[in-house]
Structure 1
Amino acid sequence: MMLAPPLWIGLLIAAVAGLAAGAYVNWATYALAWNRRLISPWSPPHERAPARRLSDRIPVWGWFGLRREAKVHGAGFWLRPLCVEITTAGMWAALYWWEVERQGLLHHQFEALVGGALQPGVLVAPESITLATFVSHALLMTLMLAASLIDFDEKTIPDGVTTPGTLLALLLAAALPMSLLPHAAERSLTPVAGVEIAVPLPPEAMKGSALYVEPLSLVAPHPWPTWLGGAPQTTGLWIGLACYAIWWIALTPRIMRWRRGLVFGLRVLTARSLRELLRPDSALIGVCGFAGIAAIWYRGGAGWLGLLTALVGMIGGSAMVWAVRIVGRVALRKEAMGFGDVTLMMMIGAFLGWQPTIFIFFIAPFAGLVIGFTKFIFRRDDMIPYGPFLCLATAVVTVWWAWFWNQEPGSYQSIFELGWLLPSVLAIGVVMLGAMLVIWRNIKEAIWGVEEEWAE
């Protein structure tokens, strides 16, 4: 069990860890981009730059010394990475205060369950839960910041950020299931994973049930079913293996050639994918992943609940973005959304689960549409990096999770009680989006005479 230190020590530790995370963001921004730049002090120095010093690698302070490389990288190049490290440190400290000290992911859920306002400290989750979610979300925010900066710079999101991030999310979910978003619920039976919360209420107020904080499982708000359990139940195993296989194959080249027909294009695509999957590093990811999933399934328990939830979240989170990418390509006759956005949502879904990604999917377009439409009016260019808006929506949903996910009548949580009707509703939404994109393309061609060509 993890115990939180006093607040000022926790904030200090979080800020220092955030500085180190900010240094990673700067390294990733310049080293993992398509056009790599030797700016980070953790990268080799540019051939025209003076020798690096050990002090250059000290977060924040080191950038004042690296100003001497302005003749190589441009005046003021050091300002953005300096601000990135300071911002990341502040982000980690603020997240620690909100999730650990204020219990911001749970307090409103507790109020919804008891049906009234609660004073802080009346219902409190163990520090082991809040620290676990803080660590998971701080890592996710750091990875999203790196992906966003690269997307702003190059309109692409590299697998070098999302692939390790997705694997890290799966490992966290399996080793520390309570690092998933929390779900407060009354249960008459002890859940597979969860911690009982002491409630200072009369026994009759709980109607014979106990209050638990559980990890947000793939079937939440319903309790974890037996048929999805570990060995000897095999249904969950096949679902988990299938989800991992889809992600593994999605990492291979995805260029489809249409000039010589569909059959020939599929043959070329399949050959390229197989060749990529058999590369040593890709094969290692596949073999170790499948073996790890089988081992955790055999063990069962809370670890399997966490891992299967992350695996389904990985695919469920990306399915809508993947569908929009396909529909947008057909409707606009050009690339509407990069596949990096799909792998980004895979990583986010693995960290948070599939339910939050639905909120993210519907929140992200608002900022993207406003900025994209403004840019098109003034520059006649509707190409904007969409990844940062997905990351911004993810941050909003994560921080305000207790308001999105509560048990009040008419709340958003009731949406997830629709069962298999929910995917049908989402599919209808994707089809309607395709129709809107066709209308948008026709408006562009009618007003501005924009000629669209089918991208290969």
Structure 2
Amino acid sequence: MNLGPFNSPIAVWLSLPQPLMLALLAIGGIAIGAAANHVITTWCWYPRPISPWVRLSEWKWDDEHRAIAEGLPPRSFWDRMPLIGWLRLRRETSLHGTGFWVRPLLIELGLAITIPVMHHCWIEGQLLPQSMPAPVIATFAPWMTLLFFVHAILLAMMVAATFIDFDERTIPDAITIPGTILGLVLASITPYVFPPGQMAAGISPVTLQHPLGLNSSWMTAGGLLTCLAIWTTWCFALADRRVIMRRGLSKAVEYFFARLTRHSSWKILAGIWIVGMIAISVVYKIGGFAWLGLASSLLGLAVGGGIVWSIRLVGSWAMQMEAMGFGDVTLMAMIGSFIGWQASIAAFFLAPLAAILIVIVQFATTRDRATPFGPYLCAGTVLTLIFWDEVYNDRLRMTVALMGDILPWLGITLLGLLGGMLLLSRWIKQRIYA
């Protein structure tokens, strides 16, 4: 199996003794957990100096907490060691609160277990049709290894986004924007493993593979324009683009552009857009599987982010309140750039199933009934990856094949029905509680 530039690294990895491989994976899981813990406490809207990599002496404390911090011993090398460090940092309970160290410890320990188990499942062909003979599945070990490392990156970003969303009901752009760009890059350089003949024989594409449905029209100028439009829409959606119509159209346009350029970050966003437009055009000129991979990733971005954005717009209009945070839109766009449009659809519809367990656990631990949607999307994505064969090959593939061009119209119809139901619900509540 030809994996292009990944051939040698993957071959070296698969040649390692299994005990050494598992040890490296466990250490890698701990390192991912440590990085996620640092991001969770420092990249959020209201950072907290819980991370052992933050110096307490440099933090801006009020008088009461400054006195507590000055009375604590300085953080040492051993405090920064994963797992062990959190046990040592229990001495800072008076500063951060009781049990602050438990969740970070469990995140690192959980990933130390999850990453090796995930690697084993991927190597054993978890994402491949289980009807395939074992010797055939074994031939895909190099590809599944590459797929594992890519999904491990996605998992790390989803872990950080999940717990920040739990804490603050927000998802930082610092995670989702670079994550989306990384997903597009990986899709461009990932080799095409399943030729059309193999797909016709029943081997459907796994996630991070070029999905079915990208016909020859995507190799034309029309396909390029579509991808450029998706990229432009994504960049524009990240801008501060609020429209205020209270003082007429001319003032609305004036305020719109004033808000758009109010913060200097618009220059960075404009630079990302320009570089992206050039990069997409270059990959189109290269053509071949690189272009199909990028186009597939952009389509996943559009479908993943578009589903959540559409529901956000319809729900907010019907209920006259924010139905879903925009961080959920950027999160699902990032996920879509990694797993493609079919898996994005599956992940979105599996999210409510995962929500049941998450809501129960969160209410049991915090008594908080209000839960963010981002963790559900991440959990739905994990379920999609683990049960990809059952989700896609056994169910979604046939549905997509039968509906074809009707699928977008069905989505629009369902959005209309959702808006109508929410509008009716708001009307009934107004009449009852008026």
Identify the TM-score tier after normalising by the shorter chain: 0.7 to 0.9
Aligned to 1:264: 251
| Distance in 2 between residues matched to 1:169 and 1:306, nearest whole Å | 10
| Distance in 1 between residues matched to 2:174 and 2:277, nearest whole Å | 21
1:203-282 alignment, distance < 5 Å: 220-222=211-213, 224-229=214-219, 233-261=220-248, 264-274=251-261, 279-282=266-269
8 A contact 1:17–1:89 mirrored in 2: yes
Amino acid at match of 2:127: L
Q: Flag the structure with higher helix content.
A: 2
Closer/same/farther in 2, CA of residues 263 and 394 from structure 1, 3 Å limit: farther
Q: 1:103 aligns with which of 125, 145, 164?
A: 125
Aligned to 1:431: 416
8 A contact 2:147–2:208 mirrored in 1: no
| Distance in 2 between residues matched to 1:149 and 1:76, nearest whole Å | 16
Q: 1:72 aligns with which of 79, 92, 95?
A: 95
- Tell me by how many angstroms 1:52 deviates: 2.1
| Distance in 2 between residues matched to 1:6 and 1:142, nearest whole Å | 25
Closer/same/farther in 2, CA of residues 353 and 245 from structure 1, 3 Å limit: same
Closer/same/farther in 2, CA of residues 186 and 155 from structure 1, 3 Å limit: same
The gaps in structure 2 that reach 5 residues or longer are: 1-6, 60-68
- Tell me by how many angstroms 1:157 deviates: 1.0
| Distance in 2 between residues matched to 1:45 and 1:395, nearest whole Å | 36
Query: Over residues 145-185 of structure 1, what are the superposed CA-to-partner deviations in whole Å (9 max), with x where a residue is unaligned?
Result: 1111011111111111111111111111112246xxx8x67
Closer/same/farther in 2, CA of residues 421 and 373 from structure 1, 3 Å limit: farther
Query: Over residues 304-360 of structure 1, what are the superposed CA-to-partner deviations in whole Å (9 max), with x where a residue is unaligned?
Result: 111111111111111111111011111111111110010011001001011111122
| Distance in 1 between residues matched to 2:263 and 2:300, nearest whole Å | 25
Amino acid at match of 1:59: P
Aligned to 2:64: none
| Distance in 2 between residues matched to 1:414 and 1:52, nearest whole Å | 57
Normalised by the length of structure 1, the TM-score is 0.81
| Distance in 1 between residues matched to 2:242 and 2:228, nearest whole Å | 25
Aligned to 1:88: 111
- Tell me by how many angstroms 1:135 deviates: 1.0
8 A contact 1:218–1:354 mirrored in 2: no
8 A contact 2:350–2:383 mirrored in 1: no
Aligned to 1:14: 25
Q: 2:82 aligns with which of 59, 65, 79?
A: 59
Closer/same/farther in 2, CA of residues 217 and 348 from structure 1, 3 Å limit: closer
Range moving further from structure 2, 428-437 or 265-274:
265-274
| Distance in 1 between residues matched to 2:242 and 2:73, nearest whole Å | 42
| Distance in 2 between residues matched to 1:67 and 1:217, nearest whole Å | 41
Closer/same/farther in 2, CA of residues 83 and 373 from structure 1, 3 Å limit: closer
Q: 2:323 aligns with which of 306, 315, 336?
A: 336
Range moving further from structure 2, 54-63 or 395-404:
54-63
Number of residue equivalences: 408
Q: 1:412 aligns with which of 376, 381, 396?
A: 396
The gaps in structure 1 that reach 5 residues or longer are: 112-117, 188-195, 198-208, 452-456
Range moving further from structure 2, 39-48 or 21-30:
39-48
2:164 maps to 1:150: yes
Aligned to 1:201: none
Amino acid at match of 2:282: A
Closer/same/farther in 2, CA of residues 276 and 238 from structure 1, 3 Å limit: farther
Range moving further from structure 2, 304-313 or 250-259:
250-259
Range moving further from structure 2, 288-297 or 348-357:
288-297
8 A contact 1:10–1:96 mirrored in 2: no
8 A contact 2:319–2:426 mirrored in 1: yes
2:374 maps to 1:393: no
8 A contact 1:277–1:283 mirrored in 2: no
Aligned to 1:302: 289
Amino acid at match of 1:333: Q
Query: Over residues 177-204 of structure 1, what are the superposed CA-to-partner deviations in whole Å (9 max), with x where a residue is unaligned?
Result: 46xxx8x6761xxxxxxxx79xxxxxxx
Amino acid at match of 1:221: L
- Tell me by how many angstroms 1:386 deviates: 0.8
2:348 maps to 1:361: yes
Aligned to 1:203: none
Closer/same/farther in 2, CA of residues 62 and 211 from structure 1, 3 Å limit: same
2:145 maps to 1:131: yes
Query: Over residues 354-402 of structure 1, what are the superposed CA-to-partner deviations in whole Å (9 max), with x where a residue is unaligned?
Result: 11111222222345479879999xxxx9743111111111110111111
8 A contact 1:125–1:213 mirrored in 2: no
Closer/same/farther in 2, CA of residues 432 and 383 from structure 1, 3 Å limit: farther
Amino acid at match of 1:175: I
